[in-house]
Amino acid sequence: MEQHYSFIKNGVVENSFVFASEDTELANRIVQENNYDEAVWVGKNPPVRFSSYDGTTFTPPTIEYLISIGVITPVIE
């Protein structure tokens, strides 16, 4: 069964990776090698990329935030 760690930078989910099981040592190496702030074990339900994380809760990104970081382009009519 797939299990996940989410990797946080500046309070935002930068990435989530699949792990066979919880592996704090490997997660910490990934944090160090990729300059993440922390890894959070999220099990079977990873948050979407660019969600905010306040230390306990993941909040999905808003359309406005995704536009502001250039992930999506607004439709101009």
Longest dimension (CA), the chain: 50
Give me the pLDDT at residue 16, please. 96
DSSP string spanning 10-63? TTEEEEEEEESS--HHHHHHHHHHHT-SEEEEEET-PPPTT-EE-SS-EEPPPH
pLDDT in tens, 12-22: 999 999 999 99
Confidence class of residue 67 from pLDDT cuts 50, 70 and 90?
very high
Q: What angle do CA 21, 26, 32 make, to 5 degrees?
A: 145
pTM value > 0.95: no
pLDDT of 35 reads 98
Q: Which pLDDT tens digit goes with each residue over 23-65?
A: 999 999 999 999 999 999 999 999 999 999 999 999 999 999 9
Q: How far is CA 24 from CA 4, 29, 30, 57, in A?
A: 12, 9, 10, 20
